[in-house]
Structure 1
């Protein structure tokens, strides 16, 4: 006699659940408030959690291996873990254009940062501050990210 596995049906039901229903499931499965992310994120994390609880999570040796690989990439530096991924960075040589108070500003993406007016900079925010005299998120200033999140 075979037993019916309810997990595939639970996963399929995520697609038709309302956002309030997804948030209620999040509270049940994670025992905390859901993050303010989009529906697709909630669905994917809930799907993983449902399977993790039903079938078990990653083996301890897999977790240790992933942690070692991460440390190789970031040198164990926690600050680097939170930095913007290289895949989000424009390709070296890209020119970013922004008009500010009637003057066109041109920034070139370099291998290790950015260049503006012949000077190297580590961040777009430093360039935006030099142009405007006020604090800006450089990614927003140059139109690479909207104000509410990734854009």
Structure 2
């Protein structure tokens, strides 16, 4: 007698589920409102949660190891921890932007940015130094579309 494993079928069904259905599943699986992220994010987190509940989560030793690695990376600074690493360009990246006929180059540092040999904590502060007005630095340097939320 073979047993039917419903997990692969549930995971496959996520691809064709309508967004309201995904949000409903999120509420059931996480007992919270779904975040305002894109569909792909909802699918992947729901898929992980389905498997986690069925097969078990990470071993305590793995969780402890991940937490220790996180501490090494951010020194326990919760502000750093909240910023996703993939939201930020890689250290050493050079961002180039032309403004009023002048080309400006900004270098990404581990703890901020550098423009004209001076350190800045944010891209917005660099953009303000260049333009003299308030700008969202991510938009100014073309890293984020001002019309979208991502």
Normalised to the residue count of structure 1, the TM-score between the two structures is 0.83
Which secondary structure state, in structure 1, belongs to the residue aligned with residue 119 of structure 2? strand
Residue 34 of structure 1 and its aligned partner are, at CA, apart by 0.8
Residue 97 (structure 1) aligns with: 97
Cα 1:105–1:114 shift into 2, 3 Å: farther
Residue 19 (structure 1) aligns with: 19
| Cα separation, 1, equivalents of 2:108 and 2:24 | 46
**What do you get for the CA RMSD once the two structures are aligned?**
2.3
Residue 77 (structure 1) aligns with: 77
| Cα separation, 2, equivalents of 1:110 and 1:25 | 40
Report if aligned partners of 2:97, 2:105 keep a CA contact under 8 Å in 1: yes
Which secondary structure state, in structure 2, belongs to the residue aligned with residue 108 of structure 1? strand
Residue 110 of structure 1 and its aligned partner are, at CA, apart by 5.3
Which blocks of at least 5 consecutive residues in structure 2 are unaligned?
A: none
The answer to whether structure 1 residue 136 and structure 2 residue 132 are counterparts is no
Residue 107 of structure 1 and its aligned partner are, at CA, apart by 2.2
Residue 83 of structure 1 and its aligned partner are, at CA, apart by 3.1
Which blocks of at least 5 consecutive residues in structure 1 are unaligned?
A: none
Cα 1:104–1:149 shift into 2, 3 Å: farther
Cα 1:87–1:8 shift into 2, 3 Å: same
Residue 91 of structure 1 and its aligned partner are, at CA, apart by 5.8
Residue 12 of structure 1 and its aligned partner are, at CA, apart by 0.5
Residue 82 of structure 1 and its aligned partner are, at CA, apart by 2.2
Normalised to the residue count of structure 2, the TM-score between the two structures is 0.84
Residue 105 (structure 2) aligns with: 107
Q: 1:88-132: CA deviations, max 9, x gaps?
A: 315626241132xx3424023154543434433332211112233
The answer to whether structure 1 residue 121 and structure 2 residue 120 are counterparts is yes
